Chain A
Amino acid sequence: MSTFDSDAAAKVHAHLHSHLPSEPALRVKALESLLVERGMISTETIDAWVEAYSEEIGPKRGAQVVARAWLDAGFKARLLKNAAEAIKEFGFEGNATGHLIAVENTDQTHNAVVCTLCSCYPFSILGMSPSWYKSAAYRSRIVREPRKVLAEFGVELPDEIAVKIWDSTAELRYIVIPQQPKGTESWTEDQLAALITRNSMIGTQRELAVS
């Protein structure tokens, strides 16, 4: 084979491989098609889930819940008593929030959430979890050395503030209610919600920036 032919063959080869999905992508496609044929799941269900979690559902839902808790003491009491029930007031109940628990940061306490087993997360109100939440490093270290890990997130806690780590399970998931920043007492719910970050509701951020 001449040099030219080798190059041409290499290009064709590269083209074919760029078109061919990766091995795990092919396996997912294979099992999806097998399940659809057996009537065990529908393509529409899969597509709707992917679209919702790629675009629509994000931490904004959780931020709205927290903002209302700051403004409405009655709602906050209901949220702390039974968060799964309280978020129905927004219509946010859904997969993975059947047993939701809200935990509140105070001047004396800081809360943070983990799933030491795998990656359980209240994704119907916080959207997809960030990569670090699923990492082995976070899952093992936040329990062993919480103050050190929180410091790596920029949360420096003095000794007098107690740290509570909540370990999620498939049936029990948590949302942290961060503290309302000072000077925002007259703000509206939407203005407040815009301040509230995803990490503050997992507990790896404590102070919220007021812009």
Chain B
Amino acid sequence: MKNLSPFLKNDSAVFDQPWHAQVLAVADGLVQSGLFSANQWAAALGQQRHEAETQQKPDTAETYYHCALAALETLLSQNSGVDRATINQRSAIWARAYLATPHGQPVLLEAGE
């Protein structure tokens, strides 16, 4: 294995984190429902990739999925009422809900409100 090139060391196509899969699932679902087009998605993701490369972020899957999330947030801000401030606010409520819920029990949004 030690002689593999960096490309072949990164040959996995498995999602490392559930949110990696979810961010693509939401983006693809919204392309299918017509909220934004496949071209708009590619352009937004391409823009994030370009910025990450300009900022010399690590060339990893984690960076890729951060770009995908940022692209999705941008398109939602432009095409729906869900802007970054709304996501920040909801994200904080979820964080409080997780911290207030004993381990092993289902986490409900109400617990963070």
* Cβ–Cβ < 8 Å partners of B53 in chain A: 136
Indicate if the CB atoms of A46 and B25 lie closer than 8 Å. Answer: yes
Q: How many residues of B contact A (CB 8 A)?
A: 61
Known contacts A24-B66, A31-B87, A46-B26; A132 and B33 CB within 8 A of each other: no
- Choose from A33, A50, A115 the contact partner of B18 (Cβ within 8 Å): A50
- Choose from A35, A40, A128 the contact partner of B14 (Cβ within 8 Å): A128
Indicate if the CB atoms of B99 and A170 lie closer than 8 Å. Answer: no
- Choose from B45, B49, B61, B81 the contact partner of A131 (Cβ within 8 Å): B61
A35 to B90, CA, bound (A): 12
Known contacts A27-B73, A35-B26, A46-B26; A129 and B8 CB within 8 A of each other: no
Indicate if the CB atoms of A32 and B22 lie closer than 8 Å. Answer: yes
Q: What 0/1 readout, one digit per residue, does chain A (108-142) give for beta carbons within 8 Å of chain B? A: 00000001011110000001111110111111000
Indicate if the CB atoms of B11 and A31 lie closer than 8 Å. Answer: no
A46 to B73, CA, bound (A): 17
Closest to A129 in B: B13
Known contacts A40-B30, A41-B26; A27 and B91 CB within 8 A of each other: yes
A209 at the interface (CB under 8 A from B): no
* Cβ–Cβ < 8 Å partners of B13 in chain A: 58, 127-131, 198
- For chain B residues 43-99, which have a beta carbon within 8 Å of chain A? 43, 45-46, 49, 52-53, 59-61, 64-66, 69, 72-73, 76, 80-82, 86-87, 90-91, 93-95, 98-99
A179 at the interface (CB under 8 A from B): no
* Cβ–Cβ < 8 Å partners of B43 in chain A: 117
Indicate if the CB atoms of B81 and A132 lie closer than 8 Å. Answer: no
Closest 6 CB pairs of A and B: A30-B90, A170-B38, A49-B25, A170-B42, A117-B46, A131-B10
15 additional A-B residue pairs with CB within 8 Å, beyond A35-B82, A131-B64: A20-B95, A26-B95, A27-B73, A27-B91, A30-B91, A31-B26, A31-B72, A34-B90, A35-B30, A38-B80, A49-B28, A117-B43, A153-B8, A170-B37, A170-B41
18 contacts between A and B (CB under 8 A): A24-B19, A24-B66, A25-B17, A28-B19, A28-B69, A29-B91, A31-B76, A34-B90, A38-B82, A45-B25, A45-B29, A49-B28, A58-B13, A118-B42, A127-B13, A135-B64, A152-B7, A198-B13
